[in-house]
Chain A
Amino acid sequence: MDKLLKLLCEDARLPVETLATMTGSTPEEVAAKIQKMESDGIILGYRAVVDWDKADREMVESYIDLKIAPKKDFGFDEFAELVSQMPEVKSCTLMSGGSDISLVVEGRSFKDIALFVGKRLATMESVISTSTRFVLKTYKKQGHQVSGKNTDDREMDF
Protein backbone atom coordinates (compact mmCIF):
# COMPACT_ATOMS: atom_id res chain seq x y z
CA MET A 1 0.00 0.00 0.00
CA ASP A 2 1.04 3.55 -0.58
CA LYS A 3 2.96 4.70 2.51
CA LEU A 4 1.06 7.94 2.82
CA LEU A 5 -2.29 6.21 2.58
CA LYS A 6 -1.19 3.64 5.14
CA LEU A 7 -0.26 6.35 7.61
CA LEU A 8 -3.50 8.24 7.04
CA CYS A 9 -5.52 5.06 7.55
CA GLU A 10 -3.85 4.61 10.91
CA ASP A 11 -4.13 8.23 11.98
CA ALA A 12 -5.67 10.80 9.67
CA ARG A 13 -4.79 13.61 12.06
CA LEU A 14 -1.03 13.40 11.57
CA PRO A 15 0.25 16.83 10.52
CA VAL A 16 1.42 17.20 6.94
CA GLU A 17 4.95 17.92 8.20
CA THR A 18 5.06 14.63 10.11
CA LEU A 19 3.70 12.71 7.13
CA ALA A 20 6.38 14.30 4.96
CA THR A 21 9.17 13.33 7.36
CA MET A 22 7.94 9.79 7.69
CA THR A 23 7.58 9.20 3.97
CA GLY A 24 10.79 11.01 3.00
CA SER A 25 8.94 13.73 1.13
CA THR A 26 8.19 17.48 1.48
CA PRO A 27 5.09 18.93 3.15
CA GLU A 28 4.08 20.53 -0.17
CA GLU A 29 4.27 17.21 -1.99
CA VAL A 30 2.28 15.48 0.73
CA ALA A 31 -0.40 18.17 0.72
CA ALA A 32 -0.70 17.96 -3.07
CA LYS A 33 -0.88 14.17 -2.98
CA ILE A 34 -3.60 14.19 -0.33
CA GLN A 35 -5.58 16.75 -2.27
CA LYS A 36 -5.32 14.64 -5.39
CA MET A 37 -6.44 11.50 -3.56
CA GLU A 38 -9.40 13.47 -2.23
CA SER A 39 -10.41 14.83 -5.61
CA ASP A 40 -9.91 11.45 -7.28
CA GLY A 41 -12.26 9.91 -4.73
CA ILE A 42 -9.55 7.64 -3.31
CA ILE A 43 -9.92 9.27 0.09
CA LEU A 44 -13.65 9.55 0.73
CA GLY A 45 -13.49 11.23 4.10
CA TYR A 46 -12.08 11.30 7.61
CA ARG A 47 -14.02 10.19 10.67
CA ALA A 48 -13.42 9.58 14.33
CA VAL A 49 -13.68 5.96 15.45
CA VAL A 50 -16.05 6.13 18.40
CA ASP A 51 -16.96 3.66 21.11
CA TRP A 52 -20.62 4.68 21.39
CA ASP A 53 -21.07 2.68 24.59
CA LYS A 54 -18.85 5.19 26.32
CA ALA A 55 -20.23 8.26 24.59
CA ASP A 56 -23.36 9.99 25.80
CA ARG A 57 -25.52 8.92 22.90
CA GLU A 58 -27.84 5.99 22.35
CA MET A 59 -26.77 4.03 19.31
CA VAL A 60 -27.69 0.62 17.97
CA GLU A 61 -25.85 -0.95 15.09
CA SER A 62 -27.21 -3.71 12.89
CA TYR A 63 -26.06 -5.83 9.98
CA ILE A 64 -28.83 -6.38 7.45
CA ASP A 65 -28.48 -8.90 4.67
CA LEU A 66 -30.84 -8.53 1.71
CA LYS A 67 -31.76 -10.90 -1.08
CA ILE A 68 -32.65 -8.99 -4.18
CA ALA A 69 -34.51 -9.86 -7.37
CA PRO A 70 -32.77 -7.79 -10.04
CA LYS A 71 -35.09 -6.44 -12.68
CA LYS A 72 -34.51 -5.04 -16.14
CA ASP A 73 -32.91 -1.61 -15.80
CA PHE A 74 -32.92 -2.04 -12.03
CA GLY A 75 -30.13 -4.44 -11.07
CA PHE A 76 -27.90 -4.64 -7.99
CA ASP A 77 -26.14 -1.35 -8.73
CA GLU A 78 -29.35 0.63 -9.11
CA PHE A 79 -30.79 -0.91 -5.95
CA ALA A 80 -27.60 -0.26 -3.97
CA GLU A 81 -27.39 3.34 -5.16
CA LEU A 82 -30.94 3.88 -4.00
CA VAL A 83 -30.59 2.44 -0.47
CA SER A 84 -27.22 4.16 -0.08
CA GLN A 85 -29.07 7.45 -0.13
CA MET A 86 -30.91 6.58 3.09
CA PRO A 87 -29.13 8.33 5.98
CA GLU A 88 -29.58 5.36 8.31
CA VAL A 89 -27.46 3.23 5.99
CA LYS A 90 -23.82 3.64 6.98
CA SER A 91 -22.37 1.14 4.57
CA CYS A 92 -23.72 -0.79 1.63
CA THR A 93 -21.90 -3.61 -0.13
CA LEU A 94 -22.60 -6.25 -2.74
CA MET A 95 -21.66 -9.62 -1.30
CA SER A 96 -20.75 -13.09 -2.45
CA GLY A 97 -22.51 -15.99 -0.75
CA GLY A 98 -26.08 -16.39 0.47
CA SER A 99 -27.26 -12.78 0.38
CA ASP A 100 -26.78 -10.10 -2.22
CA ILE A 101 -26.61 -6.73 -0.55
CA SER A 102 -25.31 -6.22 2.95
CA LEU A 103 -26.01 -3.05 4.92
CA VAL A 104 -24.75 -1.58 8.14
CA VAL A 105 -27.57 0.43 9.61
CA GLU A 106 -27.42 2.63 12.68
CA GLY A 107 -30.36 3.77 14.76
CA ARG A 108 -31.16 4.99 18.24
CA SER A 109 -32.95 1.82 19.32
CA PHE A 110 -33.72 -1.71 18.24
CA LYS A 111 -37.24 -0.47 17.50
CA ASP A 112 -35.94 2.28 15.21
CA ILE A 113 -34.08 -0.27 13.16
CA ALA A 114 -36.94 -2.75 13.15
CA LEU A 115 -39.21 -0.01 11.82
CA PHE A 116 -36.65 0.96 9.21
CA VAL A 117 -36.40 -2.63 8.00
CA GLY A 118 -40.16 -3.24 8.07
CA LYS A 119 -41.29 -0.01 6.52
CA ARG A 120 -38.44 1.13 4.29
CA LEU A 121 -36.50 -1.96 3.18
CA ALA A 122 -38.88 -4.92 3.19
CA THR A 123 -41.45 -2.99 1.24
CA MET A 124 -39.13 -2.27 -1.66
CA GLU A 125 -40.19 -4.12 -4.75
CA SER A 126 -36.86 -5.82 -5.47
CA VAL A 127 -36.34 -7.10 -1.94
CA ILE A 128 -37.06 -10.81 -1.60
CA SER A 129 -35.99 -11.22 2.00
CA THR A 130 -34.18 -9.47 4.85
CA SER A 131 -32.11 -10.81 7.70
CA THR A 132 -31.29 -8.42 10.50
CA ARG A 133 -28.66 -9.01 13.17
CA PHE A 134 -28.03 -6.55 15.97
CA VAL A 135 -24.61 -5.84 17.36
CA LEU A 136 -24.55 -6.74 21.05
CA LYS A 137 -21.01 -5.76 21.90
CA THR A 138 -18.06 -4.48 19.90
CA TYR A 139 -14.57 -5.71 20.68
CA LYS A 140 -12.64 -4.23 17.79
CA LYS A 141 -13.61 -1.39 15.53
CA GLN A 142 -11.69 -0.33 12.45
CA GLY A 143 -8.44 -1.68 13.81
CA HIS A 144 -8.94 -0.29 17.32
CA GLN A 145 -9.45 -2.57 20.28
CA VAL A 146 -12.43 -1.16 22.13
CA SER A 147 -11.22 -2.31 25.54
CA GLY A 148 -8.30 0.04 25.06
CA LYS A 149 -6.07 -2.67 26.46
CA ASN A 150 -2.88 -1.91 24.64
CA THR A 151 -0.36 -2.67 27.31
CA ASP A 152 3.29 -3.04 26.54
CA ASP A 153 4.24 -6.34 28.11
CA ARG A 154 7.89 -6.09 27.21
CA GLU A 155 10.17 -6.16 30.18
CA MET A 156 13.34 -4.16 30.42
CA ASP A 157 15.98 -6.12 28.56
CA PHE A 158 18.25 -5.08 25.81
Chain B
Amino acid sequence: MDYSRLMSAQIQDIKPSGIRKYFSLAEEMGDCISLGVGEPDFVTPWEIRRAGIESLDQGKTFYSANAGLKELRRQITLYLDRAFGLRYDPDTETVVTVGGSEAIDMAMRVLLNPGDEVLLPSPCFVCYEPIARMCGATVTTLVLKEENEFRLTAEELRAAITERTKLLVLPFPSNPTGAVMNRKDLESIAEVLKGTGIFVLSDEIYSELTYGDERHVSPAAISRDMWERTVTVNGFSKSFAMTGWRLGYVCAPAPVTEQIVKMHQFAIMCAPTTAQYAAIVALRDCEDMVSDMREEYDMRRRFIVDGFNRIGLHCFEPRGAFYVFPSIEATGLSSDDFCEQLIRKKRVAVIPGTAFGAGGEGHIRVSYSYSLKHIKEALRRIGEFMDEL
Protein backbone atom coordinates (compact mmCIF):
# COMPACT_ATOMS: atom_id res chain seq x y z
CA MET B 1 0.00 0.00 0.00
CA ASP B 2 1.14 3.48 -0.70
CA TYR B 3 0.68 4.73 2.82
CA SER B 4 2.00 8.23 2.29
CA ARG B 5 -0.54 8.82 -0.48
CA LEU B 6 -3.39 7.46 1.58
CA MET B 7 -2.71 9.01 4.97
CA SER B 8 -3.51 12.57 6.01
CA ALA B 9 -1.36 14.98 4.04
CA GLN B 10 -1.69 17.61 6.72
CA ILE B 11 -0.34 15.32 9.43
CA GLN B 12 2.49 14.07 7.22
CA ASP B 13 3.50 17.66 6.57
CA ILE B 14 4.19 18.20 10.24
CA LYS B 15 7.85 17.72 11.02
CA PRO B 16 8.72 15.31 13.84
CA SER B 17 10.41 16.78 16.89
CA GLY B 18 14.04 17.51 16.04
CA ILE B 19 15.18 16.02 19.26
CA ARG B 20 14.82 12.35 18.50
CA LYS B 21 18.04 12.42 16.53
CA TYR B 22 20.05 13.20 19.68
CA PHE B 23 18.31 10.60 21.75
CA SER B 24 19.04 7.95 19.13
CA LEU B 25 22.63 9.10 18.89
CA ALA B 26 22.98 9.00 22.69
CA GLU B 27 21.60 5.47 22.76
CA GLU B 28 23.88 4.40 19.93
CA MET B 29 27.00 5.75 21.67
CA GLY B 30 26.23 3.98 24.97
CA ASP B 31 27.47 5.10 28.43
CA CYS B 32 26.17 8.57 27.71
CA ILE B 33 25.16 10.83 30.53
CA SER B 34 22.21 12.99 29.79
CA LEU B 35 21.10 16.41 30.87
CA GLY B 36 18.31 16.18 28.37
CA VAL B 37 15.29 14.89 30.23
CA GLY B 38 12.35 17.24 30.71
CA GLU B 39 10.80 15.77 33.81
CA PRO B 40 11.51 15.79 37.56
CA ASP B 41 13.99 13.27 38.94
CA PHE B 42 11.91 13.04 42.11
CA VAL B 43 9.54 10.13 42.46
CA THR B 44 5.94 11.19 43.14
CA PRO B 45 5.68 11.82 46.91
CA TRP B 46 4.72 8.72 48.85
CA GLU B 47 1.37 10.09 50.14
CA ILE B 48 0.23 10.74 46.59
CA ARG B 49 1.23 7.31 45.37
CA ARG B 50 -0.50 5.80 48.40
CA ALA B 51 -3.72 7.65 47.57
CA GLY B 52 -3.68 6.23 44.05
CA ILE B 53 -3.13 2.70 45.37
CA GLU B 54 -5.87 3.11 47.99
CA SER B 55 -8.36 4.21 45.37
CA LEU B 56 -7.62 0.98 43.49
CA ASP B 57 -7.86 -1.07 46.68
CA GLN B 58 -11.28 0.44 47.23
CA GLY B 59 -12.35 -0.55 43.75
CA LYS B 60 -12.64 3.01 42.45
CA THR B 61 -12.00 1.94 38.91
CA PHE B 62 -14.82 3.69 37.06
CA TYR B 63 -14.97 6.71 34.77
CA SER B 64 -15.27 10.04 36.53
CA ALA B 65 -17.48 12.85 35.30
CA ASN B 66 -16.18 14.07 31.93
CA ALA B 67 -14.84 17.24 33.49
CA GLY B 68 -13.16 15.28 36.28
CA LEU B 69 -13.97 14.29 39.86
CA LYS B 70 -15.98 17.02 41.54
CA GLU B 71 -13.73 17.03 44.60
CA LEU B 72 -10.61 17.31 42.45
CA ARG B 73 -12.07 20.27 40.56
CA ARG B 74 -12.91 21.88 43.87
CA GLN B 75 -9.36 21.34 45.15
CA ILE B 76 -7.95 22.74 41.90
CA THR B 77 -9.92 25.96 42.21
CA LEU B 78 -9.05 26.32 45.90
CA TYR B 79 -5.41 25.82 45.06
CA LEU B 80 -5.38 28.29 42.16
CA ASP B 81 -6.98 30.93 44.36
CA ARG B 82 -4.60 30.25 47.26
CA ALA B 83 -1.46 30.15 45.13
CA PHE B 84 -2.06 32.71 42.41
CA GLY B 85 -5.25 34.60 43.28
CA LEU B 86 -7.05 32.95 40.34
CA ARG B 87 -10.81 32.58 40.66
CA TYR B 88 -12.57 29.84 38.73
CA ASP B 89 -15.80 27.99 39.28
CA PRO B 90 -15.15 24.27 39.83
CA ASP B 91 -18.40 23.26 38.15
CA THR B 92 -18.43 25.39 35.03
CA GLU B 93 -14.90 26.71 34.47
CA THR B 94 -12.60 23.78 35.26
CA VAL B 95 -11.81 20.63 33.27
CA VAL B 96 -9.41 17.88 34.32
CA THR B 97 -7.38 16.62 31.35
CA VAL B 98 -4.83 13.98 30.42
CA GLY B 99 -1.79 16.08 31.22
CA GLY B 100 -1.28 19.71 30.33
CA SER B 101 -0.72 18.45 26.78
CA GLU B 102 -4.34 17.49 26.25
CA ALA B 103 -5.44 20.79 27.78
CA ILE B 104 -3.31 22.67 25.23
CA ASP B 105 -4.62 20.56 22.37
CA MET B 106 -8.27 21.00 23.40
CA ALA B 107 -7.90 24.72 24.07
CA MET B 108 -6.37 25.38 20.66
CA ARG B 109 -8.95 23.29 18.85
CA VAL B 110 -11.73 25.15 20.61
CA LEU B 111 -10.30 28.63 20.01
CA LEU B 112 -8.90 28.46 16.49
CA ASN B 113 -10.55 28.73 13.09
CA PRO B 114 -8.70 27.96 9.84
CA GLY B 115 -6.81 31.06 8.75
CA ASP B 116 -6.43 32.42 12.28
CA GLU B 117 -3.01 33.50 13.36
CA VAL B 118 -1.26 32.28 16.51
CA LEU B 119 1.53 34.29 18.10
CA LEU B 120 4.15 32.02 19.51
CA PRO B 121 7.18 33.12 21.51
CA SER B 122 10.34 31.34 20.39
CA PRO B 123 12.10 29.37 21.73
CA CYS B 124 9.27 27.46 23.35
CA PHE B 125 7.96 23.98 24.04
CA VAL B 126 7.43 21.96 20.89
CA CYS B 127 3.72 21.13 20.84
CA TYR B 128 2.01 24.47 20.18
CA GLU B 129 2.97 24.92 16.56
CA PRO B 130 1.92 21.48 15.26
CA ILE B 131 -1.40 21.71 17.08
CA ALA B 132 -2.06 25.19 15.71
CA ARG B 133 -1.29 23.93 12.21
CA MET B 134 -3.62 20.99 12.64
CA CYS B 135 -6.32 23.56 13.36
CA GLY B 136 -5.52 25.22 10.06
CA ALA B 137 -4.07 28.28 11.79
CA THR B 138 -0.86 30.02 10.82
CA VAL B 139 1.93 30.61 13.32
CA THR B 140 3.89 33.81 13.73
CA THR B 141 7.02 33.45 15.78
CA LEU B 142 8.05 36.11 18.29
CA VAL B 143 11.78 35.63 18.73
CA LEU B 144 12.65 36.37 22.36
CA LYS B 145 15.91 38.04 23.21
CA GLU B 146 18.44 37.03 25.80
CA GLU B 147 18.98 40.69 26.67
CA ASN B 148 15.34 40.70 27.84
CA GLU B 149 15.98 37.49 29.75
CA PHE B 150 13.80 35.73 27.19
CA ARG B 151 10.66 37.56 28.29
CA LEU B 152 8.06 38.77 25.83
CA THR B 153 7.92 42.56 25.73
CA ALA B 154 4.87 44.68 24.98
CA GLU B 155 6.67 46.21 21.97
CA GLU B 156 7.42 42.81 20.46
CA LEU B 157 3.81 41.81 20.90
CA ARG B 158 2.38 45.05 19.54
CA ALA B 159 4.54 44.83 16.42
CA ALA B 160 3.34 41.30 15.68
CA ILE B 161 -0.41 41.73 16.01
CA THR B 162 -2.43 41.71 12.80
CA GLU B 163 -6.15 41.65 12.17
CA ARG B 164 -5.95 37.86 11.86
CA THR B 165 -4.34 37.39 15.26
CA LYS B 166 -6.52 35.16 17.38
CA LEU B 167 -4.31 33.66 20.03
CA LEU B 168 -1.20 34.54 21.99
CA VAL B 169 0.57 31.64 23.70
CA LEU B 170 2.26 32.59 26.96
CA PRO B 171 4.35 29.59 28.04
CA PHE B 172 5.92 30.88 31.25
CA PRO B 173 7.86 29.80 33.27
CA SER B 174 9.50 28.69 30.08
CA ASN B 175 10.70 25.39 28.83
CA PRO B 176 13.46 25.68 27.48
CA THR B 177 14.79 29.03 28.74
CA GLY B 178 13.63 29.06 32.38
CA ALA B 179 12.38 32.62 31.83
CA VAL B 180 9.48 33.99 33.84
CA MET B 181 7.14 36.93 33.27
CA ASN B 182 6.70 39.12 36.33
CA ARG B 183 3.63 41.16 37.19
CA LYS B 184 4.90 44.29 35.45
CA ASP B 185 5.71 42.38 32.27
CA LEU B 186 2.23 40.89 32.22
CA GLU B 187 0.55 44.22 32.93
CA SER B 188 2.15 45.72 29.87
CA ILE B 189 1.12 42.70 27.79
CA ALA B 190 -2.43 43.15 29.14
CA GLU B 191 -2.36 46.78 28.08
CA VAL B 192 -1.54 45.79 24.49
CA LEU B 193 -4.29 43.16 24.37
CA LYS B 194 -6.99 45.42 25.77
CA GLY B 195 -9.76 46.04 23.24
CA THR B 196 -8.57 43.27 20.90
CA GLY B 197 -10.29 39.94 20.26
CA ILE B 198 -7.13 38.02 21.07
CA PHE B 199 -7.19 35.06 23.43
CA VAL B 200 -4.28 34.08 25.65
CA LEU B 201 -3.29 30.45 26.15
CA SER B 202 -1.27 30.50 29.34
CA ASP B 203 0.67 27.29 29.87
CA GLU B 204 1.65 27.41 33.53
CA ILE B 205 2.82 23.84 34.01
CA TYR B 206 6.02 25.07 35.73
CA SER B 207 4.23 27.62 37.92
CA GLU B 208 5.35 25.99 41.17
CA LEU B 209 8.96 26.11 40.12
CA THR B 210 10.01 29.74 40.39
CA TYR B 211 13.02 30.90 42.33
CA GLY B 212 13.75 34.05 44.23
CA ASP B 213 11.32 36.24 46.14
CA GLU B 214 8.64 36.55 43.49
CA ARG B 215 6.15 33.77 42.98
CA HIS B 216 4.65 32.94 39.64
CA VAL B 217 2.07 35.43 38.38
CA SER B 218 -0.86 34.15 36.32
CA PRO B 219 -1.92 36.28 33.34
CA ALA B 220 -5.59 35.72 34.22
CA ALA B 221 -4.98 37.23 37.66
CA ILE B 222 -3.80 40.55 36.19
CA SER B 223 -7.21 42.05 35.45
CA ARG B 224 -10.81 41.16 34.69
CA ASP B 225 -10.11 41.82 31.01
CA MET B 226 -7.22 39.35 31.05
CA TRP B 227 -9.29 36.77 32.95
CA GLU B 228 -11.96 36.93 30.26
CA ARG B 229 -9.53 36.33 27.40
CA THR B 230 -7.25 33.77 29.06
CA VAL B 231 -7.32 30.00 29.04
CA THR B 232 -5.17 28.80 31.92
CA VAL B 233 -3.45 25.42 31.56
CA ASN B 234 -1.70 23.72 34.42
CA GLY B 235 -1.13 20.24 35.76
CA PHE B 236 0.49 17.91 38.23
CA SER B 237 3.48 16.66 36.24
CA LYS B 238 6.12 19.17 37.22
CA SER B 239 4.86 20.57 40.51
CA PHE B 240 4.13 17.22 42.15
CA ALA B 241 6.54 15.08 40.14
CA MET B 242 3.63 13.18 38.56
CA THR B 243 4.59 13.09 34.87
CA GLY B 244 3.66 9.45 34.33
CA TRP B 245 0.20 9.87 35.90
CA ARG B 246 -0.80 12.10 32.99
CA LEU B 247 -2.96 14.64 34.74
CA GLY B 248 -3.52 18.29 33.97
CA TYR B 249 -6.33 20.78 33.90
CA VAL B 250 -7.65 23.76 32.04
CA CYS B 251 -9.59 26.68 33.49
CA ALA B 252 -11.35 29.33 31.41
CA PRO B 253 -14.59 31.27 31.19
CA ALA B 254 -17.58 28.93 30.97
CA PRO B 255 -18.33 29.35 27.22
CA VAL B 256 -14.80 28.10 26.48
CA THR B 257 -14.75 25.22 28.96
CA GLU B 258 -18.18 24.13 27.74
CA GLN B 259 -16.69 23.50 24.30
CA ILE B 260 -13.57 21.93 25.80
CA VAL B 261 -15.60 19.45 27.87
CA LYS B 262 -17.49 18.48 24.73
CA MET B 263 -14.29 17.75 22.80
CA HIS B 264 -12.69 16.09 25.81
CA GLN B 265 -15.70 13.81 26.17
CA PHE B 266 -15.55 12.70 22.53
CA ALA B 267 -11.77 12.23 22.46
CA ILE B 268 -10.88 11.02 25.94
CA MET B 269 -14.03 10.48 28.04
CA CYS B 270 -12.24 11.41 31.26
CA ALA B 271 -8.77 11.59 32.74
CA PRO B 272 -7.55 8.44 34.53
CA THR B 273 -9.52 8.07 37.75
CA THR B 274 -6.64 6.66 39.81
CA ALA B 275 -4.55 9.69 38.98
CA GLN B 276 -7.43 11.97 39.90
CA TYR B 277 -7.80 10.47 43.38
CA ALA B 278 -4.06 10.79 43.90
CA ALA B 279 -4.15 14.41 42.74
CA ILE B 280 -6.73 15.35 45.36
CA VAL B 281 -4.23 14.36 48.04
CA ALA B 282 -1.45 16.20 46.19
CA LEU B 283 -3.32 19.49 46.29
CA ARG B 284 -4.71 19.02 49.76
CA ASP B 285 -1.73 17.69 51.70
CA CYS B 286 1.51 18.08 49.81
CA GLU B 287 2.43 21.73 49.58
CA ASP B 288 5.43 21.20 51.89
CA MET B 289 6.82 18.58 49.57
CA VAL B 290 6.52 20.94 46.63
CA SER B 291 8.53 23.56 48.47
CA ASP B 292 11.16 20.96 49.42
CA MET B 293 11.55 20.00 45.78
CA ARG B 294 11.67 23.65 44.77
CA GLU B 295 14.46 24.30 47.26
CA GLU B 296 16.42 21.36 45.96
CA TYR B 297 16.04 22.53 42.34
CA ASP B 298 17.03 26.02 43.38
CA MET B 299 20.33 24.85 44.86
CA ARG B 300 21.12 22.83 41.77
CA ARG B 301 20.14 25.79 39.61
CA ARG B 302 22.67 28.04 41.31
CA PHE B 303 25.30 25.34 40.98
CA ILE B 304 24.76 24.70 37.29
CA VAL B 305 24.52 28.40 36.31
CA ASP B 306 27.81 29.00 38.09
CA GLY B 307 29.28 25.90 36.46
CA PHE B 308 28.47 27.01 32.91
CA ASN B 309 29.72 30.52 33.48
CA ARG B 310 33.00 29.11 34.81
CA ILE B 311 33.39 26.89 31.75
CA GLY B 312 32.99 29.95 29.57
CA LEU B 313 29.46 29.30 28.30
CA HIS B 314 27.54 32.38 29.30
CA CYS B 315 24.40 31.44 31.15
CA PHE B 316 21.72 33.91 32.15
CA GLU B 317 20.14 33.15 35.51
CA PRO B 318 16.76 31.57 34.88
CA ARG B 319 14.05 32.18 37.45
CA GLY B 320 11.78 29.25 36.69
CA ALA B 321 11.34 25.64 35.54
CA PHE B 322 14.36 23.31 35.79
CA TYR B 323 16.37 24.25 32.73
CA VAL B 324 19.26 26.52 32.00
CA PHE B 325 19.80 27.87 28.53
CA PRO B 326 23.48 28.72 28.16
CA SER B 327 24.78 30.50 25.10
CA ILE B 328 27.26 28.55 23.02
CA GLU B 329 28.04 31.43 20.69
CA ALA B 330 31.57 31.68 22.10
CA THR B 331 32.34 28.31 20.49
CA GLY B 332 31.39 29.44 17.00
CA LEU B 333 29.41 26.22 16.57
CA SER B 334 25.75 25.94 15.69
CA SER B 335 23.51 24.47 18.40
CA ASP B 336 23.17 21.30 16.36
CA ASP B 337 26.89 20.85 15.83
CA PHE B 338 27.68 21.61 19.44
CA CYS B 339 25.25 18.94 20.68
CA GLU B 340 26.34 16.33 18.18
CA GLN B 341 30.05 16.86 18.90
CA LEU B 342 29.44 16.85 22.64
CA ILE B 343 27.72 13.47 22.45
CA ARG B 344 30.36 12.01 20.16
CA LYS B 345 33.40 13.32 21.99
CA LYS B 346 32.32 13.41 25.62
CA ARG B 347 29.16 11.30 25.78
CA VAL B 348 27.02 14.07 27.20
CA ALA B 349 23.55 14.61 25.81
CA VAL B 350 22.01 18.08 25.90
CA ILE B 351 19.35 19.51 23.62
CA PRO B 352 20.07 22.10 20.92
CA GLY B 353 18.14 25.33 21.37
CA THR B 354 16.88 25.02 17.81
CA ALA B 355 14.75 22.02 18.81
CA PHE B 356 12.55 24.69 20.41
CA GLY B 357 12.31 26.92 17.39
CA ALA B 358 14.57 29.20 15.43
CA GLY B 359 14.82 31.53 18.44
CA GLY B 360 16.89 28.88 20.19
CA GLU B 361 19.90 29.03 17.85
CA GLY B 362 23.14 29.77 19.68
CA HIS B 363 21.92 28.06 22.84
CA ILE B 364 21.55 24.65 24.40
CA ARG B 365 18.87 23.47 26.79
CA VAL B 366 20.26 21.79 29.86
CA SER B 367 18.04 20.19 32.47
CA TYR B 368 19.06 20.15 36.11
CA SER B 369 16.50 17.60 37.18
CA TYR B 370 19.40 15.31 38.02
CA SER B 371 21.43 14.55 41.13
CA LEU B 372 24.22 16.95 41.97
CA LYS B 373 26.76 14.19 41.36
CA HIS B 374 25.39 13.63 37.88
CA ILE B 375 25.38 17.35 37.07
CA LYS B 376 28.95 17.68 38.34
CA GLU B 377 30.22 14.90 36.12
CA ALA B 378 28.40 16.32 33.09
CA LEU B 379 29.85 19.78 33.73
CA ARG B 380 33.32 18.29 34.07
CA ARG B 381 32.98 16.63 30.67
CA ILE B 382 31.55 19.76 29.05
CA GLY B 383 34.51 21.70 30.51
CA GLU B 384 36.91 19.22 28.90
CA PHE B 385 35.03 19.52 25.62
CA MET B 386 35.43 23.29 25.71
CA ASP B 387 39.15 23.04 26.50
CA GLU B 388 39.70 20.77 23.53
CA LEU B 389 37.79 22.91 21.03
Contacts and interface: CB of A to CB of B under 8 A. Distances in A.
Interface in A117-158: 152, 154, 156-158
B303 interface: yes
A48 B31 CA distance: 28
Given A3-B295, A11-B372, A157 B38 contact: yes
Contacts of B39: 154, 157
B384 interface: no
Contact of B300 (A6, A14, A22, A157): A22
Interface in B279-324: 295, 299-300, 302-303, 306
Contacts of A22: 299-300, 302-303
A7 interface: yes
B350 to A, nearest CB: 11
A21 interface: yes
Interface string A14-29: 1000100111100000
Contacts, number: 39
Interface in B109-140: 126
Interface string B5-38: 0000000000001010001001100000010111
Contacts of B23: 156
A3 B17 CA distance: 39
Contacts of B38: 157-158
Given A11-B372, A156-B23, A158-B351, A18 B303 contact: yes
**Most central of A6, A11, A24, A154 by chain B CB within 10 Å:** A154
- Counting contact residues on chain B (CB < 8 A from A), the size range is 20 to 34
A154 B302 CA distance: 24
Interface string A45-89: 000000000000000000000000000000000000000000000
B37 A23 contact: no
B300 A156 contact: no
Interface in B308-367: 351, 355
Contact of A3 (B19, B34, B299): B299
B47 interface: no
Contacts of A7: 299
A156 B41 CA distance: 13
A18 B39 CA distance: 25
B299 A158 contact: no
Given A3-B295, A157-B38, A21 B26 contact: no
B41 A21 contact: no
Given A22-B299, A22-B303, A158-B351, 5 more contacts: A152-B41, A156-B27, A157-B39, A158-B19, A158-B38
